[in-house]
Amino acid sequence: MRGTAVVTGANRGLGWHTAQQLGQLGYTVVCTTRRLKEAEQTAEALVAQGLDAVPYVLDVRLARDAEGLARELKARWGGVDVLVNNAGVFLDDGVRLFELDDETLETTLQTNLLGPLYLCRALIPMMMARGYGRVVNLSSGYGALSQMGPRITAYRVSKAGLNALTAVMAAEVAGMNIKVNAVCPGWVRTDMGGPQAHRDPAEAASDVVWAATLEEDGPSGAFLRYRQPIPW
């Protein structure tokens, strides 16, 4: 067994394929979703493939849920080795800043930015204690300041903030054999990306898994696409 990996939003798309591939590498995969049935179905499907997976109900928007997950990981496995912050929402496609409603803005920031922050804050200290950890934050080119454009304000700002969080966390754990990177998976055929996207989710997930299993000489504090650094 390679260790324990947490994948948020593991029930479909990129999260599902990431959980599957980590399981195939020998990790115990903690499959988190907001609903118990989805978490159970995800874990059961992976177990049916001979993989080690367990369900966990987690609302990433709640700090107390992240803290509860940390306690569970500590009690059952003594900590955690990999965290993939995959769960996210894309609610304001095509919406101008001046038309953006508060609910959409708050839900987007809570899910895409505060959720990963809560999880990093709760889980990374366990990685620090054991001197090993890999964190992958699922980002997007929409969050790159170098490519910033109009519309899609909530999503853009949430992912730009996630990139900043990645850089801050990487600096916090520098020299501890803990890697924290942001990964843009490209345009992927998922519920979020749509059927017209050119990239297969299993292929995109392989890049996420690569970042989640980096060797000690691998990058940290980087914004990556197709396993290469891209401008912030």
- Enzyme catalytic residues: 155
Tell me the torsion sign for CA atoms 129, 83, 55, 209: negative
As a whole number of angstroms, the distance between CA 226 and CA 208 comes to 9
